[in-house]
Amino acid sequence: MIDTTDTDDSEVVVVTGASAGVGRATARAFAEQGAKVGLLARGEAGLDGAQEDVEDADGEALAVPTDVADAEQLEDAADAVEDEFGQIDVWVNAAMTSVFSPATEMDHEEFRRVTEVSYLGFVYGTEVALDRMDVGVIVQVGSALAYRGIPLQSAYCGAKHAIQGFTESVRSELIHQDSDVQLTMVQMPALNTPQFDWVKSRLPKAPQPVPPIYQPEVAAEAIVWAVRNDRDELWVGRSTVKAILGNRVIPRRLDRKLASSGWNSQMTDEPSDPDRAHNLWEPVDDETDHGAHGRFDDRARERSLQLWAFTHPVELAAAAFGAVIALLAALTFRKREKR
């Protein structure tokens, strides 16, 4: 756990994928606690917007244009952050890309690119952080899809599964080495991020996150909590819990269920735009800052009751105890009334 009680020694945090979505919300969440934040992403307009967010939240920011698929660029970015702010305390791997498509319609280069960004980008980021940390926390932004694959996202699901295996392996090594570096993975539900408007898609209709949908600030809250509480893994959202546990108990039944429902649940009623730009090879936010949120604000939840319950066990136990006492009091009162 990172000790931030000394306000003269601000925590240094690096966030990949910081220009939008989960990374953007996470950078601001740490900034609100006074952190100095290194912002790594490709899109310059998004990085500029993220820097403004951090500074508006009274944090300090350094934006470094970086493609996480390039290990040397990550090394250089980490050096720049340390030169500016000092030793890195927290590293959050959040960069991603994907392709919405049946696996049989994807080509080899698309699989390669998604793997390089959404898996190897995490591997490279973890290696860079471990090379620089004596003590600290590395967070892998995961997904329910790290345990339960769904149709039309084979490359992304494969990457998330790979991150899960990689993280467990490296965590075991760190324990063996008696390391003071904590490695944690936060498994996310469907989130309202801009990715659904800029990942490559072959779907006949516009893609959407599979409901229920949560705002990226819910993800950021979970990441910050995991850093502060030395958690190896944290599940976010009731849908994530259901997917992970369900896959342990009835995986083949879920195969059949997703075969029938997994297509339409990932598409809106709007026709797909065949000419829309996508970010598989190049960023689409060099000129326009898309912010942390996607276009599903009207359907996205700002809180997760499951996350609150998991992160507030004392308050939950007290509430449950109070409810039991109130129930017993009500029953006692009814018995007296009947006499």
- Letter for the amino acid at 231? R
Distance, CA of 10 to CA of 61 (rounded, Å): 12
Could you give phi then psi for residue 235, rounded to 5 degrees?
Answer: -100, 135
108: its two tokens: 């080899």
**H or E segment at 122?**
helix 121-132
| Catalytic residue status for 124 | no
* Beta bridge pairs of residue 38: 14, 62
Q: Are 93 and 122 in contact (CB under 8 A)?
A: yes
Classify residue 104 by its DSSP letter: G
Active-site hit among 119, 124, 147, 156: 156
Q: Are 55 and 48 in contact (CB under 8 A)?
A: no
Conformation bin of residue 270: beta by default, left when phi > 0, alpha when psi is -120 to 50? beta
Residues tagged active-site: 156
